[in-house]
């Protein structure tokens, strides 16, 4: 077995996350990343319905002045996904409210607990949460240790490679692992790079080597610039990581996790039908205004071989349309997609 074949085969294997008293077995090694304002339970459910998905993580739940309530966490998790374990992700600047929040997450049905040390948003960074903690490995360790002490479920940590340089990446991942993290996800970008700079996968390889050297044989999940099935296999091969987490690549193509595991590429008609389904489910829960805005956002991201239209003029017209126009254009998808112009404004 060689090259990408070996990487793809590895991704199809189960992945075990071990807590202090419980284990969670992910059915494969392709995970859906947490993305604020996007990966709610509706989107996660949609991706899981399109093909096999190893696991998913909720949008982050910010802990500041009080613990997260059971009601909020149940809403974040949404209905259980029969074949896909889902973690609750917390973001905190210190451990104060973590124990109660973790207990509520367990009651709400979280498969495991994830901790956010990577969000680059300025307001988050300024309050020393998310990526703001990358300057403080000791505080990362304290937060991980508090979560581990609060549950027998696995606790994982998601980090970036640093704030403005990757020189402490080994120290950061070992701090989390030494505090009891069951796995670490490393986003191979710096805080200052946001989401627009190319990911540097060699930093993931550095993290894997550092964990191994320190005796931490926990799973390392690689994240960043996985936009096509071949990227996932190559990430495994080049870095030695144990799994991949797909973020914006799944927005561009919600079938990407399935395609990574050998599933077929979607047709334009399938893509259009899924966009309609996404809108209808959102409209039923969040109302038509939110559904329309999110549909337009999805259309903007959607590509994967230009899913809707091969004609560049059609694509441009679609991207410039308002939600009502987009829905009118997609309406035939409930039968058979017709590559027609959007209605004139």
User: What CATH number is given to the structural domain containing 228?
Assistant: 3.20.20.70
Q: Would 341 be classed as within a structural domain? A: no
Confidence of residue 337 (pLDDT cuts 50, 70, 90): very low
The interaxial angle of helices 312-320 and 288-301, nearest 10 deg, is 150
pLDDT digits (tens, 9 = 90+) for 248-305: 889 888 999 999 999 988 887 788 888 888 899 999 999 999 999 888 888 777 754 4
The answer on 272 and 180 residing in a single domain is no
CA distance readout (Å), 190 to 46, 65, 168, 174? 30, 28, 11, 18
Residue 19: give the domain boundaries.
3-260
State residue 315's pLDDT score: 67
* Shared domain check, 303 and 254: no
Q: What total number of domains does the chain contain?
A: 2
Q: 276 catalytic, yes or no?
A: no
- Look at residues 210, 226, 260 and tell me which one is the last residue of a structural domain: 260
Residue 344: is its pLDDT beyond 50?
Answer: no
What pLDDT band is residue 342 in, cutting at 50, 70 and 90? Answer: very low
| Domain co-membership, 226 together with 154 | yes
CA distance 323 to 257: 27
Q: Which of 138, 142, 140, 78 is nearest to 109 (CA)?
A: 78
Question: Are 256 and 272 in a shared domain?
Answer: no
Rounded Cα–Cα distance for residues 30 and 261 (Å)? 8
Are residues 191 and 107 part of one domain?
A: yes
| pTM for the model | 0.92
- Residue 342: inside a domain: no
Q: Identify whether the C-beta of residue 232 lies closer than 8 Å to the C-beta of residue 201.
A: no
Which residue is catalytic, options 119, 174, 241, 276?
119
Residues 63 and 125 in one domain: yes
> Same domain for 243 and 285?
no
Whether residue 130 is found in the same domain as residue 272? no
> Exposed (0-12), middle (13-18) or buried (19+): which is 18, by Cβ within 10 Å?
middle
Whether residue 204 is found in the same domain as residue 297? no
Residues 250 and 279 in one domain: no
pLDDT at 272: 82
User: Please, is 246 exposed, middle or buried when counting C-beta atoms within 10 Å of its C-beta (0-12, 13-18, 19+)?
Assistant: buried
Does residue 311 sit in the same domain as residue 201? no
Pick from 260, 286, 316: which residue ends a domain?
260
Instruction: Give me the pLDDT at residue 3, please.
Output: 45
C-alpha 47/C-alpha 39 separation (Å) is 10
One-letter-per-residue 3-state SS of the chain: CCHHHHHHHHHCCCEEEECCCCEEEECCCEEECCCCCCCCHHHHHHHHHCCCCCEEECCCEEECCCCCCHHHHHHHHCCCCCCCCEEEEEEECCCCCHHHHHHHHHHHCCCCEEEEECCCCHHHHHCCCHHHHHHCHHHHHHHHHHHHHHCCCCEEEEEECCCCCCCCHHHHHHHHHHCCCCEEEEECCCHHHCCCCCCCCHHHHHHHHHHHHCCCCCCEEEECCCCCHHHHHHHHHHHCCCEEEECHHHHHCCCHHHHHCCCCCCCHHHHHHHHHHHHHHHHHHHCHHHHHHHHHHHHHHCCCCCCCCCCHHHHHHHHHCCHHHHHHHHHHHHCCCCCCCCCCC
**Is there a domain that residue 344 lies in?**
no
* Between 239 and 327, residue with greater pLDDT: 239
CA distances (Å), origin 32, targets 42, 73, 85, 141, 163: 13, 18, 11, 25, 24
343 located within any domain: no
pLDDT at 318 over 50: yes
Lowest-confidence pick of 63-67, 104-108, 129-133, 273-277: 273-277
pLDDT band at 196 (very low <50, low <70, confident <90, very high): confident
For the chain, what's the residue count?
345
Mean pLDDT calculated for residue range 68-94 = 96
Same domain as 330, residue 277: yes
């Amino acid at each position: 077995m060689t090259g990408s074949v070996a990487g793809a085969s590895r991704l199809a294997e189960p992945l075990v996350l071990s807590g202090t008293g419980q284990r969670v077995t992910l059915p494969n090694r392709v995970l859906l990343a947490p993305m604020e304002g996007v990966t709610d339970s509706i989107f996660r459910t949609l991706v899981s319905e399109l093909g096999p998905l190893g696991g998913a993580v909720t949008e982050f739940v910010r802990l500041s002045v009080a613990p997260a309530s059971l009601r909020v966490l149940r809403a974040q998790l949404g209905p259980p996904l029969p074949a896909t374990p889902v973690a609750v992700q917390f973001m905190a600047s210190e451990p104060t409210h973590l124990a109660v929040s973790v207990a509520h997450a367990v009651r709400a049905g979280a498969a495991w607990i994830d901790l956010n040390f990577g969000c680059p948003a300025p307001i988050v960074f300024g309050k020393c949460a998310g990526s703001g903690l990358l300057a403080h490995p000791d505080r990362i360790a304290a937060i991980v240790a508090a979560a581990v002490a609060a549950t027998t479920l696995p606790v994982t940590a998601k980090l970036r490679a640093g704030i403005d340089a990757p020189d402490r990446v080994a120290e950061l991942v070992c701090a989390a692992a030494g505090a009891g993290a069951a796995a670490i996800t490393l986003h191979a970008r710096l805080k200052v790079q946001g989401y627009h700079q190319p990911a540097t996968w060699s930093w993931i390889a550095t993290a894997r080597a550092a964990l191994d050297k320190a005796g931490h044989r926990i799973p390392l999940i690689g994240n960043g610039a996985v936009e096509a099935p071949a990227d996932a296999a190559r990430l495994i091969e080049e870095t030695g990581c144990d799994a991949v987490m797909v973020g914006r690549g799944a927005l561009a193509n919600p079938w990407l996790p399935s395609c990574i595991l050998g599933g077929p590429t979607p047709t334009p008609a399938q893509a259009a039908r899924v966009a309609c389904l996404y809108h209808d489910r959102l409209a039923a829960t969040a109302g038509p205004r939110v559904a329309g805005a999110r549909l337009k956002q999805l259309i903007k991201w959607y590509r994967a071989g230009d899913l809707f239209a091969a004609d560049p003029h059609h694509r441009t017209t679609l991207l410039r349309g308002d939600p009502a126009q987009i829905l009118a254009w997609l309406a035939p998808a409930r039968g058979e997609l017709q590559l027609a112009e959007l209605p004139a404004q």
